[in-house]
Structure 1
Amino acid sequence: TSNLKVNDSNCQTPLSAPPKISNWIQLNSDGVVKDSTGIATIGGILRDKYRSWIIGYNRLVGTCSILDADLWGIFEGVAIAINKGFDRILIISDSQEAIQVIQGRVTKMSNSALVRRIILLLAKMNFWSIQHVPRDYNKEADSLAKMIVSDNGCIQFFETPP
Structure 2
Amino acid sequence: MLGWIKVNTDGAVCRSSRKASCGGIIRDNYGNWIKGFVSNLGYASVLSAEIWGIYHGLVTAWNLGFRKVELKSDSSQAIKMIQMLREAGSNLRPLQHKISCLLASDWEVKATHIPRNATGCANTIAKHSLASSIGFNMLDNHPSVVVSVMLRDANNSIIHDPAG
Q: One fold, TM greater than 0.5? A: yes
Going by fraction, where is helix more abundant, 1 or 2?
A: 2
Give the equivalent residue in structure 2 for 1:43: 23
Distance 2:127 2:69 in 1: 24
* 1:89–1:125 CA contact under 8 A, matched in 2: no
Shift of 1:150: 2.5
Could you tell me which of 100, 124, 136 is aligned with 1:154?
Answer: 136
* 1:30–1:142 CA contact under 8 A, matched in 2: yes
Q: RMSD over aligned Cα, in angstroms? A: 1.8
After TM superposition, which residue ranges in structure 1, 4 or more long, deviate above 4 angstroms?
Answer: none
Identity of aligned residues (%): 36
Give the equivalent residue in structure 1 for 2:126: 145
1:58-137 equivalent positions in 2, closer than 5 A: 58-104=38-84, 112-137=93-118
* 2:50–2:75 CA contact under 8 A, matched in 1: yes
Pair 1:43–1:153, CA change in 2 (3 A):
same
**Structure 1: any 5+ residue segments left out of the alignment?**
1-19
* 2:37–2:136 CA contact under 8 A, matched in 1: no
* 1:88–1:125 CA contact under 8 A, matched in 2: no
Q: TM-score, normalized by length of structure 2?
A: 0.78
Give the equivalent residue in structure 2 for 1:27: 7
Q: Aligned residue pairs: how many?
A: 138
Deviations 1:32-84 (A, max 9, x none): 01111111110100011222110111110111111110000010011010111
Give the equivalent residue in structure 1 for 2:156: none
Give the equivalent residue in structure 2 for 1:5: none
Q: TM-score, normalized by length of structure 1?
A: 0.79
* 1:32–1:142 CA contact under 8 A, matched in 2: yes
* 1:61–1:153 CA contact under 8 A, matched in 2: yes
Distance 2:140 2:64 in 1: 14
Distance 1:63 1:115 in 2: 18
